[in-house]
Structure 1
Amino acid sequence: MTNGRNALHPANQNCTSNGSHRAVSLSRALLQTAAVIFLAASVAPAYAQSHDRNLNGMHLSSDIPNLNGVWARDTHGYPKPYIVNRQIADGYENEYLKPWVVEQLERDELVTVAGRTLITPHSICYPESVPYAYGGTQVNIVQTPSEITMLFGDQGQWRTIYLNRPHPDHVEPSWWGDSVGHYEGDTLVIDTVGFAVNPQAGSMGRYGTPHSDQLHLVERWRFLREGEVSTAPEPRNDSFNAADVVEGGKVMRLTFTLEDPIAYRKPWSVTLDYLELDARIREYACAENSRFWDLTPLLPSAATP
């Protein structure tokens, strides 16, 4: 099992040559981008009809929440219960994290304190996975009776959740894992296993947390109920146009819980609230939009156009 960041470096990847690795990476990136653009274009009219219960010919049962549309949070990252004022609470005595995870987080923090950019999936345009992707600000949900697709505006990536079916008997590890979902009343419940042990982001700031191949993620998506108070920050145009927030629109709450007997002493949870937008999801180009000079050599590239 690999827990270090060094495996992110192309030199440590299983490839025949640097050139072939870059070409394959670029080809994958182009194919993924094309697929996302096609899917987003095919459902573009949906965001303006998010309250239509017969959306695009699809009938939603009255007790199933209609999650279709673009949802956003005007802040990056999310609070973690084991972090207090950007410090790992109690260090090695942390009630949530096992010592090897604390050690890795401390090493990552030394990188950022030194003024260098931490090598993460985000910084070198690799798949970000969940819950890492929820450190972004926008998600476009495309809901059908058999599956749900989530497109992430900050990363130009997507995931698919298959409804009303179990996990396969043998789950092939992948960046995003295997996600299955079902409805419990007004709540969409998503269960994800099979996360590959890629070098995950893990620092004090907006990044994620190291884990093992035993990571188990449970998400619960629902709208705020009467009397509940939203924790979503007021939109400030930092991440999207504040004028696009639907006036009087719904607030969607995500609560996710992570458990991993190898990495965490006990499960930990995070709650995030999303505002409804009357807008298209933002376009994002990762490699072409690089701002990290110290990571430029690691970005996907090709020898010829």
Structure 2
Amino acid sequence: MKALRSLSCSLLGSLCFVSGGLYSQQTENPSWNGVPDLQGVYSIATVTMLERGEQFGGELVISTEQAAVVGETGASYLDNLVSNVGGAESQVGGYNTFWMDPGERMAVIDGEIRTSIIIEPEAGRLPWAEGALRRIFSSMRGQQALDGPEVRPMGERCLVGFGSSGGPPMLPVLYNNHSRIVQTEDYVMILAEMNHDARIIRLKDSQHKEMQKWLGDSIGYYDDDTLVVETTNFHAQESFRGALRHFFYLSADAKVTEEFSRLDKDTLLYRFTVDDPAVYSRAWTGELPMNAVEDRIYEYACHEGNYALPGILAGARRQELESEFGLPGQ
């Protein structure tokens, strides 16, 4: 269930854009049990995409006026989706846009309006290794989307969230962009709203477990005021991270290093680096603000009472019979 949104700033409010940058870095950060206190509920919703669009001319930072145009474009996109819902029969598999909550403004870090989550390479684009995309799509070509439930997307099967919402790295999607951080002496837990993904980060361990997990195997430590998390051993079926707002790939041996630090009393800086030589020509790094919200995260009841999948698979079997034996369609 989508958490209720707190009052958010308008994209056109320039003061709202730079509020994070006005916070004095000399302000003492809150601590918990001798370590930085990062606990709370946060939102990573933003209209800033993972990769930088060509319309920004390679620039990482843009002006308030330029950002306003981007915001209006995003609003028009959702308005068009809403207008298409009424009247004519909606597209099968479509979403009710009432529940979409992609964010209302671009990511702002230190007063800078960012055009992409990726900051390295400087171009703001994924540094695919030569032939990597061809190999990825070739490996997927033999799987038919309706062969069985095992080849349906992980999010559709309620195993993990859509795209890379649960991380690592954690990235915004069209809705359910909240997460909750809980700290103990031995662990840090990050609960993603989407699909109720809970990632348990071990603090008193230096060796990764051999078992592959949906969200990888995470160990962490504190470096001054920063929580550093290193994750590897990703489940092979969760390699493809695709959503409307981002697309990338992680091999099972990829390593993701995350850094959580406080920008101000209401904002965390989330920085991550993906190192995966099997897929990318170099490591790539991204940054996102995690904005504190007063909302609570409610239960994510995934597909309760959903009887569509058996019907979808049965329909596919019927189509196969019609094709093989020349049976008339129903």
> What is the TM-score when the length of structure 1 is the normalising length?
0.55
Counterpart residue identity of residue 38, structure 2: L
**Runs of at least 5 residues in structure 2 that lack an aligned partner in the other structure:** 1-28, 56-124, 141-150, 314-330
- Give the SS at the match of 1:288: coil
Is the aligned partner of 1:130 residue 2:161? Answer: no
- Structure 2 vs 1, CA of residues 200 and 95 (structure 1 numbering), >3 Å: closer, same or farther? closer
Aligned equivalent of 2:181 = 141
Instruction: Give per-residue Cα distances to partners, 1:118-174, cap 9 Å, x unaligned.
Output: 953223322245236533511111101110111111221101001032024x52112
Q: Give 1:199 shift.
A: 4.6
> Is residue 126–residue 284 contact of structure 2 (8 Å, CA) maintained in 1?
no
Distance 1:182 1:158 in 2: 18
Q: How is 1:226-237 mapped onto 2 (pairs within 5 angstroms)?
A: none
- Structure 2 vs 1, CA of residues 95 and 182 (structure 1 numbering), >3 Å: closer, same or farther? closer
Aligned equivalent of 1:163 = 203
**Runs of at least 5 residues in structure 1 that lack an aligned partner in the other structure:** 1-50, 54-58, 86-93, 109-117, 226-248, 299-305
Is the aligned partner of 1:70 residue 2:41? Answer: yes
> What is the TM-score when the length of structure 2 is the normalising length?
0.51
Q: Which of the numbers 213, 230, 240 marks the counterpart of 2:252? A: 213
Q: Which of the numbers 223, 231, 234 marks the counterpart of 2:262? A: 223
Runs of 4+ in 1 over 6 A off after TM superposition: 105-108, 293-296
- Give the SS at the match of 1:209: strand
> Is residue 168–residue 231 contact of structure 2 (8 Å, CA) maintained in 1?
no
Distance 1:295 1:96 in 2: 40
**Larger radius of gyration, structure 1 or 2?**
2
Counterpart residue identity of residue 102, structure 1: L
Aligned equivalent of 2:153 = 120
Aligned equivalent of 1:236 = none
Aligned residues: 198
Q: Which of the numbers 247, 251, 255 marks the counterpart of 2:267? A: 251
Percent identity reads: 23
- Structure 2 vs 1, CA of residues 286 and 208 (structure 1 numbering), >3 Å: closer, same or farther? farther
Q: Give 1:191 shift.
A: 0.5
> Is residue 42–residue 291 contact of structure 2 (8 Å, CA) maintained in 1?
yes
- Structure 2 vs 1, CA of residues 289 and 192 (structure 1 numbering), >3 Å: closer, same or farther? farther
Aligned equivalent of 1:263 = 279
- After superposition, the CA RMSD in angstroms is 3.5
Is the aligned partner of 1:283 residue 2:316? Answer: no
> Is residue 123–residue 295 contact of structure 1 (8 Å, CA) maintained in 2?
no
